[in-house]
């Protein structure tokens, strides 16, 4: 019954999303928190430093900033599917699942550099797919690389997702060295400009280099998982696995552009997992990024699977777990 309400496309669903948004973020507004002593906080990247300077040290303005960015991101998540139509049905489910993922770690509902980085990554994915069947050299790949590189000036580990541009070229084009070259140029351009600005302003370039290295390869403090959070993570991981298996079983029946979009999202999901397990600098904040492809996989599964009673139960349990996490956070 709950899933059926969220699967609609009318104004009522938008109202439900707004209510759910408020419900899942209420605890953070009741008691705004500062982010932990993660590397991206103690040694912020240049663009995130500017955000922190403008917002100040109080937690509430930072929370409002993240709330606004997330609102824009949710709209863009829906728009991506509306534009490419790779799920083959108009639905708000990707935004709903991303909203649920945004509440799985209440301590992450703070000012964070990962949210603007995730938004720019999604724009980059949209630019990559816009190059489908575009004749000549597609400067979309330069744009996508540029967006990812700018995003990494908020959250350094986004730079690894530059691999998706190369993968996108492989998926959409017949090997074009010039497009690979301009993609690499797009990745390095923001860093050249940043170094130039530092030099002109008399800032220490060694500090910039040191901050980048620490953000990419430094050690982050361990995140403490509650028992309920572990249950929610295991349950959501099983849901994602089921949805991916279901997607792979149907992917060959989809239109070419839809198929390639899902392949690109699968690669994005894989890159997220690799950097999470391989790099000590990556912690639970990766949920803001891994939640993007995961939300589309889950939306596809819950739209097309035929066992409606099963999906109702799975969705209700998932949502209930996240709400319980929020309630325990409020009354901790």
Round to whole Å and give the CA distance between 207 and 195.
11
- What stretch of H or E contains 238? helix 227-250
Task: Give the pLDDT score at 291.
Answer: 97
Confidence of residue 127 (pLDDT cuts 50, 70, 90): very high
Q: Which residue has the higher pLDDT, 6 or 280?
A: 280
Residue 167 has pLDDT above 90, yes or no: yes
CA–CA distances in Å: residue 198 to residues 204, 206, 209, 291: 7, 10, 11, 34
Task: Give the pLDDT score at 52.
Answer: 95
**Mean pLDDT value across residues 50-62:** 94
Residue 197 has pLDDT above 70, yes or no: yes
Confidence of residue 35 (pLDDT cuts 50, 70, 90): confident
Confidence of residue 175 (pLDDT cuts 50, 70, 90): low
2-33 pLDDT, tens digit each: 888 888 888 889 999 999 999 999 999 998 98
Round to whole Å and give the CA distance between 297 and 292.
9
Residue 308 and residue 111 in contact, taking contact as beta carbons nearer than 8 Å = no
Round to whole Å and give the CA distance between 94 and 293.
9
What are the extents of the domains in the chain? 2-330
With a CB cutoff of 8 Å and minimum separation 6, the contacts of 307 are none
**Mean pLDDT value across residues 145-170:** 97
Residue 54 and residue 44 in contact, taking contact as beta carbons nearer than 8 Å = no
83-104 pLDDT, tens digit each: 999 998 999 999 999 999 999 9
Percent pLDDT > 90 in the chain is: 84
Task: Give the pLDDT score at 304.
Answer: 94
CA-based nearest residue to 119, from 77, 160, 59, 84: 77
Residue 176 has pLDDT above 80, yes or no: no
Percent pLDDT > 70 in the chain is: 99
CA-based nearest residue to 250, from 313, 194, 306: 306
Residue 173 has pLDDT above 90, yes or no: no
Residue 174 has pLDDT above 80, yes or no: no
Confidence of residue 222 (pLDDT cuts 50, 70, 90): confident
Indicate the angle between helix axes 11-30 and 93-101, nearest 10 degrees: 10
Task: Give the pLDDT score at 270.
Answer: 98
Residue 215 and residue 39 in contact, taking contact as beta carbons nearer than 8 Å = yes
Round to whole Å and give the CA distance between 91 and 108.
27
Round to whole Å and give the CA distance between 222 and 253.
43
Report the phi/psi class of residue 26: left, alpha or beta, with left for phi > 0 and alpha for psi in -120 to 50. Answer: alpha
CA–CA distances in Å: residue 140 to residues 162, 185, 309, 320: 13, 13, 42, 41
Report the phi/psi class of residue 187: left, alpha or beta, with left for phi > 0 and alpha for psi in -120 to 50. Answer: alpha
Task: Give the pLDDT score at 256.
Answer: 94
**Mean pLDDT value across residues 257-268:** 97
């Amino acid at each position: 019954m709950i899933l059926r309400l969220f699967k609609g496309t009318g104004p009522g669903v938008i109202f439900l999303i707004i209510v759910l948004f408020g419900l899942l973020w209420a605890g953070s507004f009741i008691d705004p928190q500062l982010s932990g002593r993660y590397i991206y906080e103690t040694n912020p990247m240049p663009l995130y430093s500017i955000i922190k300077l403008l917002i100040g040290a109080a937690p509430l303005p930072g929370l409002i900033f993240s709330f606004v960015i997330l609102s824009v991101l949710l709209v863009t998540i829906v728009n991506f599917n509306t534009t490419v139509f790779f799920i083959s049905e108009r639905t708000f489910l990707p935004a709903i699942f991303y909203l649920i993922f945004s509440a799985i770690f209440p301590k992450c509902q703070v000012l964070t550099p990962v949210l603007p980085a995730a938004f720019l990554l999604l724009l980059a994915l949209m630019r990559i797919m816009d190059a489908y069947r575009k004749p000549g050299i597609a400067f979309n790949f330069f744009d996508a690389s540029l967006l990812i590189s700018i995003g990494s000036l908020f959250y350094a580990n986004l730079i690894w997702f530059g691999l998706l541009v190369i993968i996108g070229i492989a998926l959409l084009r017949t090997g074009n060295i010039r497009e690979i070259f301009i993609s690499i140029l797009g990745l390095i351009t923001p860093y050249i400009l940043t170094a130039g600005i530092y030099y002109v302003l008399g800032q220490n370039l060694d500090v910039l280099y040191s901050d980048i290295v620490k953000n990419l390869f430094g050690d982050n403090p361990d995140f403490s998982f509650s028992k309920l959070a572990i249950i929610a993570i295991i349950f959501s991981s099983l849901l994602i696995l089921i949805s991916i298996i279901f997607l792979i079983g149907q992917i060959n029946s989809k239109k070419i552009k839809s198929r390639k979009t899902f392949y690109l999202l699968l690669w994005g999901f894989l890159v997220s997992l690799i950097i999470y397990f391989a790099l000590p600098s990556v912690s639970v904040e990766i949920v803001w990024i891994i939640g993007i492809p995961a939300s589309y996989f889950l939306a596809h599964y819950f739209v097309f699977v035929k066992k409606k009673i099963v999906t109702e139960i799975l969705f209700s349990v998932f949502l209930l777990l996240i709400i319980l996490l929020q309630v325990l956070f409020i009354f901790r």
